[in-house]
Structure 1
Amino acid sequence: MTQLDAGPIDYLALEFPGARLNGEGLKELVDLTERGIIRILDLVVAVVADDGSVAAVALADLDGDGQLDLALFEGVSSGLLDEEDIAQSAALVKPGDAVGLLLYENTWAGPFVTAMRNAGAEVIASGRIPADDVVAALDALESA
């Protein structure tokens, strides 16, 4: 991946209360990947023990259907997420919960960015507006 064809890189930290991972939502993650919309760079699931210690868990059959739900992503690791990232994310959840970390490239944007650079433009900033802020702003508009 060169700078010219890389899309923006984002991450998500997901809380799983009671460390219950049932596979819900994995179909969408696989679909986004197979359609080339995103590329998974890192995928880590860690459980926070009652004593606060953190242990990464192996990808498994999350929905109990006998098949490895995340086989497509098994061993995916860019090296961008490290132990400190996992510990910081784990600190956001309570003991007994699990945290999932997903680092992904928005591959859909790569060709657009490349085309803009070829036209003489440069990406000078990028960012993310938290979904809660967008919902609150839209709710405020609706009630106005």
Structure 2
Amino acid sequence: MATSGPVELVLIEFPRSDFKGEIVAELGRLVDAGTVDVLDALLIRKAADGAVEWLEATEGGDDELARIVGEPAGLLAADDVDAVAEDLAPGSAVGMLVFEHSWARGLSAAVAGAGGRMLDWTRVPAEAIDELTAGLTGTTEKES
């Protein structure tokens, strides 16, 4: 598995263990548009009695999710499940996604072609940008 865009791990919590179809539909749209490539995905549920069940996204019976993920890269495994399940509330679930920002492949190639190299790629949380923007304009979101 060769990647040339940044790769991220995303954890999505579902407090009532309800997975919704609109998430899979949006992932499909992003994959089909060439924005991201989903490299691996796991679904983890913790029953009310504390028992943990997990499966690869391709084993969940959702054909669209299986199409999006394709052959899992094997980046997520039982150790990851144990680490997440420890903090998971009974009756809830987590979806774990590893994806590549495939839109950045061209940028990475251009940088390499110019003799450069990416030193770092840091994700800045939206909340931090909102705070910075509010500080620059002198307003807060509640005031607007």
Give the TM-score taking structure 2 as reference length: 0.81
For 1:84 and 1:35, the matched residues in 2 are separated by 32
Structure 1 alignment gaps of length 5 or more: 62-67
Residue aligning to 1:51? 49
Identity in percent: 32
For 2:86 and 2:125, the matched residues in 1 are separated by 20
For 2:130 and 2:77, the matched residues in 1 are separated by 32
Deviation for aligned residue 1:133? 2.3
CA contact (8 A) 2:39 2:72 kept: yes
For 2:46 and 2:130, the matched residues in 1 are separated by 30
User: Alpha-carbon deviations, 1:44-67, whole Å to 9, x = none?
Assistant: 111012233321144235xxxxxx
Give the TM-score taking structure 1 as reference length: 0.81
CA contact (8 A) 2:40 2:69 kept: no
CA contact (8 A) 1:23 1:69 kept: no
Structure 2 alignment gaps of length 5 or more: none
Counterpart selection for 2:85 from 76, 90, 98: 90
Root-mean-square deviation (Å): 2.1
User: Alpha-carbon deviations, 1:30-55, whole Å to 9, x = none?
Assistant: 01101111101001111012233321
Distance 1:53 1:76, change over 3 A: farther
1:1-12 matched pairs, under 5 angstroms: 1-2=1-2, 6-12=4-10
User: Alpha-carbon deviations, 1:102-139, whole Å to 9, x = none?
Assistant: 10000111111111111111111111112332233334
Count of matched residue pairs: 136
